[in-house]
Amino acid sequence: MAQDVPIFQAMPWKSFEPWFKKEWRQGQHGAIIGPTGFGKTTVVVNLLETRTHALALDVKGGDRTLAKLQAKGFVRAPWPLPDKVYRDIRNGKPARFIVGFKPRNTLEIPKLTKMIDLCLHDVFSQEGWAVYVDELQMAASQKMMNLGAIIETNLIAGRDRGVSILTSGSSSSRPGTGKWWTAWPRWPAGHERRSRAPSGAWAARTTTWC
């Protein structure tokens, strides 16, 4: 059952971004919802940039949209990360990585799946990461990566372990328990069928699942 917290607000992006950065606590999860071409990746890039320790999982393998994160200082890397990264984290340095690689053929897809799976398990034990999972349906589907169980574990345990999961997609699916922020483009009245958000307005809502 979903219980909506009494916060439902639409605002221009220039107001939404600083407000959301302030309100998004480590351990809370977020979902960016909207059709292809609405700028979901741009939103994700700006939000992840505010996190000191962040991972973007390349579920597709060679996802070109993640290049926007590289332009913001994210480094593409295999998993597990080298020991030097954790020494830097202990010394207070930021750690922002894109985890995954582009398979050369379908025979390498299980290798990518194994890497993403290990990363999600390590995120649970290491704590404190903000993790972006694009194409959540692809990652969780039993017909594809079948990582739904460990994703759900991180969602449920996220608050206590300081793990935040950020996802984006064209439609929302039932998340795990905990507090979620949901953001999506908002159309002015009478323009619901327009193909793009006309004014950069975004609506946000917090939802607690139980």
Could you read off the pLDDT of 150-209 as tens digits, one per residue?
999 999 988 899 999 998 877 544 444 444 444 444 433 433 333 333 334 444 444 333
User: Torsions phi, psi of 77, nearest 5?
Assistant: -150, 150
CATH placement of domain 2-188+201-209:
3.40.50
Question: What DSSP assignment string belongs to 146-206?
Answer: --HHHHHHHHHHHHHHT-EEEEEESS-----SEEEEEEEE-PPTT-TT-SS-SS-EEEEEE
* Both tokens assigned to 42: 């741009």
Alpha helices in 9-103 (DSSP H): 13-23, 40-48, 67-70, 83-90
Quote the pTM value: 0.78
> What's the N-to-C CA distance of the chain in angstroms?
6
